[in-house]
Structure 1
Amino acid sequence: MSLKSRTAVVTGSTSGIGLAVARALASDGANVVINGFGDAAAIEKERSGIEKDFGVKAAYVAADLTKGEECARLITEAEKTFGTVDVLVNNAGIQHVAPIEEFPPEKWDMIIALNLSAAFHATRAAVPGMKARKWGRIINTASAHALVASPFKSAYVAAKHGIAGLTKTVALETATFGITCNAICPGYVWTPLVEKQIPDTAKARDMTEEQVKRDVLLAAQPTKEFVTVEEVAALALFLTSDAARSITGSMQQIDGGWVAE
Protein backbone atom coordinates (compact mmCIF):
# COMPACT_ATOMS: atom_id res chain seq x y z
CA MET A 1 0.00 0.00 0.00
CA SER A 2 1.95 2.99 -1.29
CA LEU A 3 -0.51 5.48 0.25
CA LYS A 4 -0.53 3.95 3.74
CA SER A 5 -0.27 6.71 6.38
CA ARG A 6 -0.90 9.39 3.75
CA THR A 7 -3.97 11.63 3.51
CA ALA A 8 -6.00 12.41 0.40
CA VAL A 9 -8.53 15.19 -0.06
CA VAL A 10 -11.00 14.61 -2.88
CA THR A 11 -13.44 17.38 -3.72
CA GLY A 12 -16.86 16.63 -5.17
CA SER A 13 -16.60 13.13 -3.76
CA THR A 14 -20.04 12.32 -2.42
CA SER A 15 -20.95 10.61 -5.70
CA GLY A 16 -19.72 9.87 -9.21
CA ILE A 17 -16.07 10.12 -10.19
CA GLY A 18 -15.00 11.74 -6.93
CA LEU A 19 -16.44 9.00 -4.76
CA ALA A 20 -14.85 6.32 -6.94
CA VAL A 21 -11.48 8.07 -6.66
CA ALA A 22 -11.80 8.44 -2.89
CA ARG A 23 -12.54 4.74 -2.56
CA ALA A 24 -9.63 3.80 -4.83
CA LEU A 25 -7.19 5.88 -2.78
CA ALA A 26 -8.57 4.39 0.43
CA SER A 27 -8.09 0.90 -1.02
CA ASP A 28 -4.38 1.74 -1.26
CA GLY A 29 -4.22 2.76 2.40
CA ALA A 30 -4.89 6.51 2.35
CA ASN A 31 -7.02 8.24 4.91
CA VAL A 32 -9.48 10.34 2.95
CA VAL A 33 -11.42 13.56 3.30
CA ILE A 34 -14.53 13.67 1.17
CA ASN A 35 -16.46 16.78 0.26
CA GLY A 36 -19.59 17.65 -1.65
CA PHE A 37 -23.29 18.27 -1.48
CA GLY A 38 -26.02 15.71 -0.92
CA ASP A 39 -28.30 14.09 1.60
CA ALA A 40 -26.60 13.95 5.00
CA ALA A 41 -27.55 10.33 5.64
CA ALA A 42 -26.31 9.25 2.21
CA ILE A 43 -23.01 11.07 2.73
CA GLU A 44 -22.52 9.46 6.13
CA LYS A 45 -23.22 6.06 4.60
CA GLU A 46 -20.46 6.61 2.04
CA ARG A 47 -18.02 7.99 4.63
CA SER A 48 -18.52 5.13 7.05
CA GLY A 49 -18.49 2.67 4.16
CA ILE A 50 -14.98 3.79 3.20
CA GLU A 51 -13.78 3.16 6.75
CA LYS A 52 -15.48 -0.22 6.96
CA ASP A 53 -14.43 -1.45 3.53
CA PHE A 54 -10.77 -0.37 3.62
CA GLY A 55 -9.77 -0.04 7.28
CA VAL A 56 -8.76 3.61 6.96
CA LYS A 57 -10.07 6.83 8.48
CA ALA A 58 -12.49 8.97 6.49
CA ALA A 59 -13.81 12.43 7.26
CA TYR A 60 -16.38 14.65 5.61
CA VAL A 61 -15.97 18.43 5.35
CA ALA A 62 -18.97 20.36 4.05
CA ALA A 63 -17.10 23.26 2.44
CA ASP A 64 -18.78 25.39 -0.24
CA LEU A 65 -16.04 25.41 -2.86
CA THR A 66 -17.51 28.32 -4.80
CA LYS A 67 -15.92 30.44 -2.04
CA GLY A 68 -12.15 30.71 -1.92
CA GLU A 69 -11.96 30.86 1.85
CA GLU A 70 -13.97 27.64 2.09
CA CYS A 71 -11.51 25.87 -0.21
CA ALA A 72 -8.68 26.91 2.10
CA ARG A 73 -10.70 25.78 5.12
CA LEU A 74 -11.15 22.35 3.56
CA ILE A 75 -7.37 21.91 3.43
CA THR A 76 -6.91 23.33 6.92
CA GLU A 77 -9.56 20.99 8.36
CA ALA A 78 -7.94 18.01 6.66
CA GLU A 79 -4.54 18.95 8.10
CA LYS A 80 -6.02 19.38 11.58
CA THR A 81 -7.74 16.00 11.37
CA PHE A 82 -4.98 13.88 9.84
CA GLY A 83 -1.82 15.98 10.09
CA THR A 84 -1.07 16.30 6.37
CA VAL A 85 -2.59 16.62 2.94
CA ASP A 86 -0.46 14.48 0.67
CA VAL A 87 -2.85 13.93 -2.23
CA LEU A 88 -5.27 16.57 -3.53
CA VAL A 89 -7.83 15.64 -6.14
CA ASN A 90 -9.65 18.69 -7.48
CA ASN A 91 -12.74 17.02 -8.86
CA ALA A 92 -15.75 19.16 -7.93
CA GLY A 93 -17.72 20.41 -10.90
CA ILE A 94 -21.09 21.37 -12.29
CA GLN A 95 -22.45 21.85 -15.77
CA HIS A 96 -24.99 23.99 -17.60
CA VAL A 97 -25.90 23.67 -21.26
CA ALA A 98 -27.27 26.62 -23.26
CA PRO A 99 -26.45 28.74 -26.31
CA ILE A 100 -24.07 31.59 -25.49
CA GLU A 101 -26.72 34.28 -25.95
CA GLU A 102 -29.01 32.49 -23.51
CA PHE A 103 -26.32 31.43 -21.02
CA PRO A 104 -27.21 32.91 -17.60
CA PRO A 105 -24.34 35.03 -16.25
CA GLU A 106 -24.88 33.63 -12.78
CA LYS A 107 -24.39 30.10 -14.14
CA TRP A 108 -21.15 31.21 -15.81
CA ASP A 109 -19.89 32.69 -12.53
CA MET A 110 -20.77 29.56 -10.55
CA ILE A 111 -19.20 27.14 -13.03
CA ILE A 112 -15.97 29.14 -13.22
CA ALA A 113 -15.88 29.40 -9.41
CA LEU A 114 -16.39 25.69 -8.77
CA ASN A 115 -14.78 24.07 -11.81
CA LEU A 116 -11.70 26.30 -12.02
CA SER A 117 -11.17 28.75 -9.17
CA ALA A 118 -11.76 26.11 -6.48
CA ALA A 119 -8.83 24.09 -7.84
CA PHE A 120 -6.61 27.17 -7.59
CA HIS A 121 -7.63 27.95 -4.01
CA ALA A 122 -7.29 24.37 -2.77
CA THR A 123 -3.96 23.88 -4.52
CA ARG A 124 -2.65 27.17 -3.16
CA ALA A 125 -3.49 26.01 0.37
CA ALA A 126 -2.10 22.48 -0.02
CA VAL A 127 1.21 23.14 -1.79
CA PRO A 128 3.17 24.65 1.15
CA GLY A 129 2.79 21.47 3.21
CA MET A 130 3.65 19.28 0.24
CA LYS A 131 6.78 21.34 -0.45
CA ALA A 132 7.84 21.10 3.18
CA ARG A 133 7.51 17.30 3.10
CA LYS A 134 9.06 17.00 -0.40
CA TRP A 135 6.17 14.85 -1.61
CA GLY A 136 2.74 15.47 -3.04
CA ARG A 137 0.30 14.44 -5.72
CA ILE A 138 -2.16 16.90 -7.23
CA ILE A 139 -4.71 15.51 -9.68
CA ASN A 140 -7.20 17.74 -11.43
CA THR A 141 -10.28 16.25 -13.01
CA ALA A 142 -10.37 18.05 -16.32
CA SER A 143 -12.23 16.66 -19.32
CA ALA A 144 -11.85 16.00 -23.00
CA HIS A 145 -13.27 19.53 -23.01
CA ALA A 146 -9.92 20.71 -21.68
CA LEU A 147 -8.57 19.84 -25.13
CA VAL A 148 -11.50 20.32 -27.51
CA ALA A 149 -14.77 22.26 -27.42
CA SER A 150 -18.44 21.41 -27.87
CA PRO A 151 -21.35 23.76 -28.57
CA PHE A 152 -23.55 25.15 -25.77
CA LYS A 153 -20.97 24.59 -22.99
CA SER A 154 -19.10 27.88 -22.94
CA ALA A 155 -18.47 28.05 -19.19
CA TYR A 156 -17.56 24.38 -18.78
CA VAL A 157 -15.17 24.36 -21.75
CA ALA A 158 -13.57 27.62 -20.61
CA ALA A 159 -13.11 26.27 -17.08
CA LYS A 160 -11.62 22.98 -18.23
CA HIS A 161 -9.21 24.71 -20.62
CA GLY A 162 -8.24 26.81 -17.59
CA ILE A 163 -7.64 23.66 -15.56
CA ALA A 164 -5.21 22.48 -18.24
CA GLY A 165 -3.21 25.69 -17.92
CA LEU A 166 -3.31 25.61 -14.12
CA THR A 167 -2.10 22.00 -14.13
CA LYS A 168 0.90 22.76 -16.32
CA THR A 169 1.86 25.84 -14.33
CA VAL A 170 1.68 24.11 -10.95
CA ALA A 171 3.65 21.17 -12.35
CA LEU A 172 6.48 23.49 -13.39
CA GLU A 173 6.50 25.34 -10.08
CA THR A 174 6.62 22.17 -7.96
CA ALA A 175 8.78 19.91 -10.13
CA THR A 176 11.82 20.04 -7.84
CA PHE A 177 9.85 19.36 -4.65
CA GLY A 178 8.78 15.76 -5.23
CA ILE A 179 5.31 16.95 -6.24
CA THR A 180 3.47 16.03 -9.41
CA CYS A 181 0.45 17.77 -10.87
CA ASN A 182 -1.56 16.14 -13.62
CA ALA A 183 -5.00 16.39 -15.14
CA ILE A 184 -7.27 13.50 -16.04
CA CYS A 185 -9.31 14.20 -19.16
CA PRO A 186 -12.25 11.81 -19.32
CA GLY A 187 -14.69 11.60 -22.16
CA TYR A 188 -18.30 11.04 -21.24
CA VAL A 189 -18.50 9.15 -17.96
CA TRP A 190 -21.89 7.94 -16.80
CA THR A 191 -22.33 10.08 -13.68
CA PRO A 192 -25.10 12.20 -12.17
CA LEU A 193 -23.48 15.26 -13.82
CA VAL A 194 -23.81 13.75 -17.30
CA GLU A 195 -27.27 12.38 -16.64
CA LYS A 196 -28.54 15.79 -15.51
CA GLN A 197 -27.30 17.62 -18.61
CA ILE A 198 -29.13 15.35 -21.05
CA PRO A 199 -32.54 17.09 -20.80
CA ASP A 200 -30.97 20.53 -21.36
CA THR A 201 -28.94 19.25 -24.28
CA ALA A 202 -32.06 17.66 -25.76
CA LYS A 203 -33.86 21.00 -25.50
CA ALA A 204 -30.94 22.99 -26.94
CA ARG A 205 -30.60 20.64 -29.92
CA ASP A 206 -34.32 19.79 -30.36
CA MET A 207 -33.68 16.07 -29.87
CA THR A 208 -35.02 13.28 -27.73
CA GLU A 209 -32.93 12.24 -24.73
CA GLU A 210 -32.07 8.92 -26.37
CA GLN A 211 -30.89 10.76 -29.47
CA VAL A 212 -28.66 12.92 -27.26
CA LYS A 213 -27.04 9.83 -25.72
CA ARG A 214 -26.51 8.13 -29.08
CA ASP A 215 -25.92 10.99 -31.51
CA VAL A 216 -24.30 13.66 -29.30
CA LEU A 217 -22.54 12.10 -26.32
CA LEU A 218 -21.38 8.75 -27.60
CA ALA A 219 -20.96 10.06 -31.13
CA ALA A 220 -17.79 11.73 -29.86
CA GLN A 221 -16.33 8.48 -28.52
CA PRO A 222 -15.20 5.93 -31.11
CA THR A 223 -15.70 3.12 -28.60
CA LYS A 224 -19.42 4.06 -28.42
CA GLU A 225 -19.29 3.35 -24.70
CA PHE A 226 -19.34 5.56 -21.63
CA VAL A 227 -16.14 5.62 -19.59
CA THR A 228 -16.70 4.11 -16.14
CA VAL A 229 -15.93 5.85 -12.86
CA GLU A 230 -13.81 2.84 -11.89
CA GLU A 231 -11.57 3.38 -14.92
CA VAL A 232 -11.02 7.02 -14.02
CA ALA A 233 -10.33 6.08 -10.39
CA ALA A 234 -7.75 3.51 -11.43
CA LEU A 235 -5.91 6.14 -13.47
CA ALA A 236 -5.98 8.56 -10.54
CA LEU A 237 -4.55 5.88 -8.25
CA PHE A 238 -1.74 5.17 -10.72
CA LEU A 239 -0.84 8.87 -10.82
CA THR A 240 -0.25 8.79 -7.04
CA SER A 241 2.17 5.87 -7.31
CA ASP A 242 5.96 5.89 -7.39
CA ALA A 243 5.75 4.49 -10.91
CA ALA A 244 4.22 7.82 -11.99
CA ARG A 245 6.72 10.09 -10.25
CA SER A 246 8.09 11.38 -13.57
CA ILE A 247 4.64 12.12 -14.99
CA THR A 248 3.79 15.74 -14.32
CA GLY A 249 2.10 18.53 -16.23
CA SER A 250 0.29 15.98 -18.35
CA MET A 251 -3.24 15.74 -19.70
CA GLN A 252 -4.16 12.07 -19.25
CA GLN A 253 -6.86 11.26 -21.82
CA ILE A 254 -9.35 8.54 -20.96
CA ASP A 255 -11.98 9.23 -23.56
CA GLY A 256 -12.55 6.17 -25.74
CA GLY A 257 -10.52 7.79 -28.53
CA TRP A 258 -12.53 11.04 -28.69
CA VAL A 259 -9.61 13.48 -28.95
CA ALA A 260 -7.74 11.21 -31.38
CA GLU A 261 -10.21 12.10 -34.14
Structure 2
Amino acid sequence: MKPLQGRSAVITGGLTGQGLEIAKALAEAGAHVAVGSYVSEASGRRGDAAAYPDPQEITAVRETLQDFGAKVFAGHLDVRDLKVIDEFIAAADKACGPADILVNAAGTTAEQPVSGHSDELWLKIIDTNLNGAFRMTRKLLPGMIGRHWGRIINIGSTAATVGWKDNPAYCASKSGLLGLTRCVALEGAPHGVACVMISPTWVETELMRRNVAQVVAREGKGRTLEEAMADIAQQNPQQRIIQPQEIAALAAFLCSDAARGITAENIQITGGALW
Protein backbone atom coordinates (compact mmCIF):
# COMPACT_ATOMS: atom_id res chain seq x y z
CA MET A 1 0.00 0.00 0.00
CA LYS A 2 1.20 3.48 -0.82
CA PRO A 3 2.09 5.55 2.29
CA LEU A 4 -0.35 8.38 1.49
CA GLN A 5 -3.14 6.25 0.05
CA GLY A 6 -6.48 7.98 0.60
CA ARG A 7 -4.98 11.26 1.80
CA SER A 8 -5.75 14.57 0.11
CA ALA A 9 -3.23 17.36 -0.42
CA VAL A 10 -3.43 21.03 -1.38
CA ILE A 11 -0.26 22.50 -2.89
CA THR A 12 0.02 26.24 -3.50
CA GLY A 13 2.42 27.21 -6.26
CA GLY A 14 1.77 23.68 -7.46
CA LEU A 15 1.69 24.27 -11.21
CA THR A 16 5.41 24.95 -11.54
CA GLY A 17 8.83 24.39 -9.98
CA GLN A 18 9.20 22.92 -6.53
CA GLY A 19 5.44 22.89 -5.95
CA LEU A 20 4.81 20.76 -9.03
CA GLU A 21 7.55 18.26 -8.12
CA ILE A 22 6.06 17.96 -4.62
CA ALA A 23 2.62 17.37 -6.14
CA LYS A 24 4.08 14.57 -8.28
CA ALA A 25 5.77 12.96 -5.27
CA LEU A 26 2.60 13.08 -3.17
CA ALA A 27 0.49 11.70 -6.02
CA GLU A 28 2.98 8.89 -6.56
CA ALA A 29 2.72 8.11 -2.83
CA GLY A 30 -1.04 7.71 -3.23
CA ALA A 31 -2.45 11.12 -2.31
CA HIS A 32 -5.13 12.99 -4.23
CA VAL A 33 -3.76 16.41 -5.13
CA ALA A 34 -5.21 19.89 -5.63
CA VAL A 35 -2.66 22.24 -7.15
CA GLY A 36 -3.02 25.95 -7.62
CA SER A 37 -0.87 28.82 -8.79
CA TYR A 38 -1.45 32.38 -9.88
CA VAL A 39 -2.39 31.94 -13.54
CA SER A 40 -1.52 34.73 -15.94
CA GLU A 41 -3.99 35.70 -18.65
CA ALA A 42 -1.77 38.54 -19.91
CA SER A 43 -1.32 38.69 -23.66
CA GLY A 44 2.26 37.99 -24.70
CA ARG A 45 3.19 37.11 -21.10
CA ARG A 46 5.70 39.92 -20.78
CA GLY A 47 7.15 41.51 -17.67
CA ASP A 48 5.80 40.23 -14.36
CA ALA A 49 3.23 38.01 -16.12
CA ALA A 50 6.02 35.89 -17.61
CA ALA A 51 6.80 34.50 -14.15
CA TYR A 52 3.43 32.74 -13.90
CA PRO A 53 1.90 29.75 -15.71
CA ASP A 54 -0.79 30.28 -18.34
CA PRO A 55 -4.15 28.49 -18.66
CA GLN A 56 -2.77 25.89 -21.09
CA GLU A 57 -0.31 24.70 -18.47
CA ILE A 58 -3.17 23.76 -16.13
CA THR A 59 -4.29 21.04 -18.54
CA ALA A 60 -0.76 19.66 -18.93
CA VAL A 61 -0.22 19.52 -15.16
CA ARG A 62 -3.59 17.84 -14.59
CA GLU A 63 -2.78 15.13 -17.12
CA THR A 64 0.68 14.55 -15.64
CA LEU A 65 -0.70 14.10 -12.13
CA GLN A 66 -3.57 11.89 -13.25
CA ASP A 67 -1.01 9.46 -14.66
CA PHE A 68 -0.24 8.52 -11.04
CA GLY A 69 -3.85 7.38 -10.57
CA ALA A 70 -4.72 10.27 -8.27
CA LYS A 71 -7.80 12.44 -8.17
CA VAL A 72 -6.61 15.83 -9.36
CA PHE A 73 -7.83 19.39 -9.22
CA ALA A 74 -5.77 22.16 -10.82
CA GLY A 75 -6.61 25.80 -11.14
CA HIS A 76 -5.96 29.46 -10.49
CA LEU A 77 -5.03 30.36 -6.91
CA ASP A 78 -3.99 33.79 -5.70
CA VAL A 79 -2.99 33.39 -2.05
CA ARG A 80 -3.35 37.17 -1.59
CA ASP A 81 -7.09 37.06 -2.33
CA LEU A 82 -9.44 35.60 0.31
CA LYS A 83 -12.31 35.14 -2.16
CA VAL A 84 -10.12 33.22 -4.59
CA ILE A 85 -8.76 31.08 -1.74
CA ASP A 86 -12.28 30.18 -0.61
CA GLU A 87 -13.32 29.28 -4.16
CA PHE A 88 -10.23 27.17 -4.76
CA ILE A 89 -10.54 25.23 -1.50
CA ALA A 90 -14.25 24.56 -2.10
CA ALA A 91 -13.49 23.16 -5.56
CA ALA A 92 -10.50 21.17 -4.27
CA ASP A 93 -12.58 19.70 -1.44
CA LYS A 94 -15.27 18.62 -3.90
CA ALA A 95 -12.76 17.02 -6.30
CA CYS A 96 -10.25 15.49 -3.89
CA GLY A 97 -11.82 15.49 -0.43
CA PRO A 98 -10.95 17.54 2.67
CA ALA A 99 -7.27 18.45 2.82
CA ASP A 100 -5.11 16.31 5.10
CA ILE A 101 -1.93 17.91 3.76
CA LEU A 102 -1.11 21.53 2.94
CA VAL A 103 2.07 22.51 1.14
CA ASN A 104 2.69 26.25 1.05
CA ALA A 105 5.00 26.55 -1.94
CA ALA A 106 3.66 29.74 -3.54
CA GLY A 107 6.30 32.44 -3.48
CA THR A 108 7.82 35.40 -5.23
CA THR A 109 10.94 37.53 -4.95
CA ALA A 110 12.61 40.60 -6.43
CA GLU A 111 15.89 42.32 -5.70
CA GLN A 112 15.81 45.83 -4.27
CA PRO A 113 17.93 47.44 -1.54
CA VAL A 114 16.31 48.64 1.68
CA SER A 115 17.19 52.22 0.82
CA GLY A 116 14.62 53.22 -1.75
CA HIS A 117 12.62 49.97 -1.47
CA SER A 118 9.07 50.59 -2.67
CA ASP A 119 6.12 49.83 -0.41
CA GLU A 120 4.35 48.14 -3.33
CA LEU A 121 7.10 45.58 -3.91
CA TRP A 122 7.65 44.97 -0.18
CA LEU A 123 3.95 44.32 0.42
CA LYS A 124 3.63 42.06 -2.64
CA ILE A 125 6.44 39.77 -1.47
CA ILE A 126 5.31 39.67 2.17
CA ASP A 127 1.67 39.19 1.17
CA THR A 128 2.52 36.24 -1.07
CA ASN A 129 5.26 34.44 0.85
CA LEU A 130 4.09 34.96 4.43
CA ASN A 131 0.49 36.17 4.52
CA GLY A 132 -0.50 33.68 1.83
CA ALA A 133 0.80 30.76 3.89
CA PHE A 134 -1.01 32.13 6.95
CA ARG A 135 -4.31 32.43 5.07
CA MET A 136 -4.11 28.90 3.67
CA THR A 137 -3.13 27.47 7.05
CA ARG A 138 -5.89 29.34 8.87
CA LYS A 139 -8.40 27.92 6.40
CA LEU A 140 -7.28 24.27 6.47
CA LEU A 141 -5.81 23.73 9.96
CA PRO A 142 -9.17 23.47 11.79
CA GLY A 143 -10.26 20.55 9.61
CA MET A 144 -6.99 18.73 10.23
CA ILE A 145 -7.35 19.27 13.97
CA GLY A 146 -10.92 18.00 13.84
CA ARG A 147 -9.85 14.82 12.01
CA HIS A 148 -6.81 14.37 14.30
CA TRP A 149 -4.33 14.09 11.40
CA GLY A 150 -2.56 16.64 9.28
CA ARG A 151 0.68 17.74 7.71
CA ILE A 152 1.62 21.32 6.83
CA ILE A 153 4.83 21.78 4.86
CA ASN A 154 6.09 25.33 4.37
CA ILE A 155 8.65 25.88 1.64
CA GLY A 156 11.11 28.31 3.14
CA SER A 157 14.68 29.20 2.28
CA THR A 158 18.09 29.65 3.80
CA ALA A 159 17.03 33.31 3.61
CA ALA A 160 15.06 32.64 6.79
CA THR A 161 18.27 32.57 8.81
CA VAL A 162 20.88 34.27 6.56
CA GLY A 163 20.55 37.81 5.25
CA TRP A 164 21.33 38.61 1.65
CA LYS A 165 22.08 41.99 0.08
CA ASP A 166 19.20 43.52 -1.88
CA ASN A 167 16.70 40.89 -0.70
CA PRO A 168 15.14 42.40 2.46
CA ALA A 169 11.51 41.55 1.72
CA TYR A 170 12.29 37.96 0.72
CA CYS A 171 14.49 37.38 3.78
CA ALA A 172 11.89 38.96 6.07
CA SER A 173 9.08 36.88 4.58
CA LYS A 174 10.96 33.61 5.04
CA SER A 175 12.00 34.52 8.59
CA GLY A 176 8.35 35.21 9.35
CA LEU A 177 7.37 31.89 7.78
CA LEU A 178 9.72 30.09 10.14
CA GLY A 179 8.04 31.74 13.14
CA LEU A 180 4.62 30.81 11.76
CA THR A 181 5.77 27.21 11.25
CA ARG A 182 6.76 26.85 14.90
CA CYS A 183 3.51 28.36 16.19
CA VAL A 184 1.36 26.14 13.97
CA ALA A 185 3.37 23.08 15.03
CA LEU A 186 2.65 23.78 18.70
CA GLU A 187 -1.04 24.38 18.03
CA GLY A 188 -1.40 21.19 16.03
CA ALA A 189 0.79 18.87 18.10
CA PRO A 190 -1.91 17.64 20.54
CA HIS A 191 -4.16 16.81 17.56
CA GLY A 192 -1.82 14.79 15.33
CA VAL A 193 -0.98 17.73 13.08
CA ALA A 194 2.70 18.34 12.26
CA CYS A 195 4.15 21.47 10.66
CA VAL A 196 7.66 21.65 9.20
CA MET A 197 9.57 24.14 7.07
CA ILE A 198 11.91 22.95 4.32
CA SER A 199 14.58 25.53 3.60
CA PRO A 200 16.67 24.97 0.48
CA THR A 201 19.45 27.04 -0.97
CA TRP A 202 19.31 27.77 -4.73
CA VAL A 203 17.06 25.20 -6.43
CA GLU A 204 17.25 24.69 -10.19
CA THR A 205 13.84 25.76 -11.43
CA GLU A 206 12.63 27.99 -14.22
CA LEU A 207 12.12 30.74 -11.63
CA MET A 208 15.75 30.48 -10.55
CA ARG A 209 16.98 30.66 -14.14
CA ARG A 210 14.80 33.72 -14.75
CA ASN A 211 16.15 35.45 -11.63
CA VAL A 212 19.76 34.65 -12.53
CA ALA A 213 19.17 35.93 -16.07
CA GLN A 214 17.98 39.24 -14.62
CA VAL A 215 21.13 39.50 -12.50
CA VAL A 216 23.32 38.75 -15.52
CA ALA A 217 21.56 41.42 -17.58
CA ARG A 218 21.91 43.97 -14.79
CA GLU A 219 25.64 43.22 -14.39
CA GLY A 220 26.32 43.88 -18.06
CA LYS A 221 29.58 41.91 -17.93
CA GLY A 222 28.87 39.68 -20.89
CA ARG A 223 28.36 36.52 -18.84
CA THR A 224 25.92 34.02 -20.28
CA LEU A 225 23.13 32.50 -18.21
CA GLU A 226 24.83 29.11 -18.31
CA GLU A 227 28.12 30.62 -17.10
CA ALA A 228 26.30 32.29 -14.23
CA MET A 229 24.56 29.02 -13.31
CA ALA A 230 27.91 27.23 -13.38
CA ASP A 231 29.39 29.88 -11.07
CA ILE A 232 26.56 29.33 -8.58
CA ALA A 233 27.16 25.58 -8.70
CA GLN A 234 30.88 26.07 -8.05
CA GLN A 235 30.15 28.19 -4.98
CA ASN A 236 28.22 25.31 -3.40
CA PRO A 237 30.39 22.92 -1.31
CA GLN A 238 28.95 20.01 -3.34
CA GLN A 239 29.62 22.01 -6.51
CA ARG A 240 26.11 21.54 -7.84
CA ILE A 241 22.66 23.12 -7.72
CA ILE A 242 19.97 21.43 -5.62
CA GLN A 243 17.23 19.80 -7.72
CA PRO A 244 13.49 20.24 -7.02
CA GLN A 245 13.04 16.46 -6.81
CA GLU A 246 15.18 16.52 -3.65
CA ILE A 247 12.73 18.91 -2.00
CA ALA A 248 9.82 16.77 -3.17
CA ALA A 249 11.26 13.54 -1.76
CA LEU A 250 11.69 15.10 1.68
CA ALA A 251 8.20 16.60 1.59
CA ALA A 252 6.66 13.22 0.76
CA PHE A 253 8.49 11.58 3.66
CA LEU A 254 7.44 14.30 6.09
CA CYS A 255 3.81 13.73 5.10
CA SER A 256 4.01 10.02 5.92
CA ASP A 257 3.16 8.39 9.25
CA ALA A 258 6.83 7.42 9.56
CA ALA A 259 7.62 11.12 10.14
CA ARG A 260 4.85 11.88 12.63
CA GLY A 261 7.34 12.89 15.33
CA ILE A 262 9.01 15.53 13.14
CA THR A 263 7.41 18.92 13.73
CA ALA A 264 8.39 22.55 14.46
CA GLU A 265 11.61 21.95 12.52
CA ASN A 266 13.43 23.98 9.87
CA ILE A 267 15.09 21.36 7.68
CA GLN A 268 17.70 22.74 5.30
CA ILE A 269 18.69 21.21 1.95
CA THR A 270 21.79 23.12 0.99
CA GLY A 271 24.65 20.86 -0.09
CA GLY A 272 26.56 22.51 2.75
CA ALA A 273 25.95 26.11 1.65
CA LEU A 274 24.96 28.85 4.11
CA TRP A 275 22.72 30.67 1.59
TM-score normalized with structure 2 length: 0.88
Query: 1:198, CA displacement in angstroms?
Result: 1.3
Query: 1:76, CA displacement in angstroms?
Result: 3.1
Query: 1:209, CA displacement in angstroms?
Result: 5.0
- In the alignment, the residues of structure 2 paired with residue 158 and residue 212 of structure 1 have an alpha-carbon distance, to the nearest angstrom, of 26
Which runs of 5 or more structure 2 residues have no equivalent in the other structure? 40-52
Query: 1:194, CA displacement in angstroms?
Result: 1.0
Specify the SS of the correspondent of 2:123.
helix
1:15 aligns with 2:29: no
Instruction: Spell out the pairing of 1:85-104 with structure 2 (5 A cutoff).
Output: 85-104=99-118
- In the alignment, the residues of structure 2 paired with residue 219 and residue 119 of structure 1 have an alpha-carbon distance, to the nearest angstrom, of 33
The letter of the residue matching 1:159 is S
> Quick one: structure 1 residues 100 and 213, their matched pair in 2 at CA, closer, same or farther if it must change by over 3 Å?
farther
Which runs of 5 or more structure 1 residues have no equivalent in the other structure? none
Structure 1 runs of 4+ aligned residues shifted over 6 Å read none
Assess if the C-alpha contact under 8 Å between 1:11 and 1:92 holds in 2.
yes
Assess if the C-alpha contact under 8 Å between 1:97 and 1:201 holds in 2.
no
- In the alignment, the residues of structure 2 paired with residue 234 and residue 59 of structure 1 have an alpha-carbon distance, to the nearest angstrom, of 21
The letter of the residue matching 2:72 is A
Deviations 1:167-198 (A, max 9, x none): 00100111110000000001110112211211
TM-score normalized with structure 1 length: 0.92
1:117 aligns with 2:131: yes
Query: 1:58, CA displacement in angstroms?
Result: 0.5
Give the root-mean-square deviation of aligned CA atoms.
1.8
Other-structure match for 2:259: 244
Instruction: Tell me the percent identity.
Output: 38
Other-structure match for 1:139: 153
Other-structure match for 1:213: 229
Count matched residues. Answer: 258
Query: 1:96, CA displacement in angstroms?
Result: 0.4
Instruction: Spell out the pairing of 1:24-35 with structure 2 (5 A cutoff).
Output: 24-35=25-36
Assess if the C-alpha contact under 8 Å between 2:72 and 2:96 holds in 1.
no
Specify the SS of the correspondent of 1:2.
coil
Assess if the C-alpha contact under 8 Å between 2:72 and 2:95 holds in 1.
no
Candidates 164, 169, 189, aligned match of 1:175: 189
Query: 1:61, CA displacement in angstroms?
Result: 2.9
In terms of mean alpha carbon deviation, does 112-121 or 200-209 score higher?
200-209
1:155 aligns with 2:169: yes
